[in-house]
Structure 1
Amino acid sequence: MTQVFERMTTERLLLRAVRDSDVEAVFVLHGDPETNRYSASGPMRSLDAARTQLGVWLDDWARTGIGYWVVERREEPGVAVGFGGLRHKVLDGQQVLNLAYRFAPNAWGSGYATELARAALELAREHLPQTPVVAVIHPENEASIRVATRLGMRLDRIIDYEGVPSRLYVPA
């Protein structure tokens, strides 16, 4: 399974499994207050926190053969503009695939989140159809809500996610 999800190319993006050397990119993106405006924990505060987060993602890949990708533009390989994709998560006692996407502000408005999410949903439908896909979105994150809606996802319910009432989207 890992090879199916490990590396993918879309029309404009290169999507690849995270690796140890991505720690600085994790910190830069997740330490930016703008990219974390809707995150319950706020911006990442240290390189050690980035190492810890990256360790969780690397463990996802090692255990399940699926996890979040580093997102690079095809015309600019090696430069991370975002992170996202699918990772296994237990939500309300149910095993799900959490769809996430987070991009640097200079990549906002480009349609990259939709392109990444569409690729992730197609892989999930084809290779993991038995596992539900969800997107947990802060109710004020209108851009992420638009991406989920554009993908044909619908609001299922409001859940408590890390202490924040959040919108749970599922494929329609």
Structure 2
Amino acid sequence: MLRPHFERQTTGRLLLRAIREDDLDAVFALHSDPTTNQFSRRGYMQTLDDARRIMGLWLEDWAREGVGYWLVERLEAPGVVVGLGGLRHKELEGQRVLNLAYRFVPQTWGSGYATEVSRVALALAARHLPHVPLVAIIHPENAASLRVAERLGMRLDRHVTEDGIPNRVYVIR
């Protein structure tokens, strides 16, 4: 299912692009940092094989669904990945949803990048996938991510437990 409008987007400051086979090092660097992954239910990645496995899933998302997480680069520094964000299909409590996610290197925290990327993702989902519920699953102690969801106009819908970890589910108002 080809959705070319999802594969590459730009904002005033950022390039959002589909993950590619040659992004292994960037994915590993972002996900192997304990600080960046302190609220991740799986913790931080410890090996390149961990990155290969998750990248395989994400590449499959793009191939099968035409939608997936983007790697994010600053337009002023092409080729330098500063984060990951966007949407991917997942099952949540037996329902197929679009999961909104964002993760950025600590040096960019507070820059508004998560909100900027998420606004593009929400607009594309509303235009092209309006029939699929959209959620953000956030650890209750991740205050920065909770603020991003609220800034996007999302509201707390319910609490869920995934892999033994409690999370909050935010939905579009």
* Structure 2 residues without counterparts, runs of 5 or longer: none
Query: Which residue matches 1:80?
Result: 81
Cα distance in 1 for partners of 2:163, 2:88 equals: 17
Distance 1:163 1:61 in 2: 28
Partner of 1:114: 115
Q: Which residue is 1:36 aligned to?
A: 37
Supply the AA of the counterpart residue of 2:147: R
Q: Secondary structure, in 3 states, of the residue corresponding to 2:56?
A: helix
C-alpha separation in 2, matches of 1:2 and 1:35:
30
Provide TM-score, normalisation by structure 2.
Answer: 0.98
Q: 1:62-73 alignment to 2 at 5 Å?
A: 62-73=63-74
Q: Distance in 1 between matches of 2:14 and 2:47?
A: 28
How far off its partner does 1:4 sit?
A: 1.0
Backbone CA RMSD of aligned residues: 0.7
Instruction: Please give the alpha-carbon distance, in whole angstroms, between the structure 2 residues aligned to 1:87 and 1:162.
Output: 19
Identity of aligned residues (%): 63
The corresponding residue for 2:156 is 155
| Alignment pair present for 1:144 and 2:145 | yes
Instruction: State the Cα deviation string for residues 55-90 of structure 1 (Å, max 9, x = none).
Output: 110000001000000000111111100011000011
Q: Secondary structure at the match of 2:168?
A: strand
* Structure 1 residue ranges (4+ consecutive) displaced by more than 4 angstroms after TM superposition: none
Query: What does residue 95 of structure 2 align with?
Result: 94
Q: Is 1:168–2:150 an aligned residue pair?
A: no
Q: Within 2, Cα distance between the matches of 1:161 and 1:152?
A: 24
- Indicate yes or no: 2:29 matched with 1:11: no
Q: Deviations over 1:36-69 (max 9, x none)?
A: 1001211100011111111110000001000000
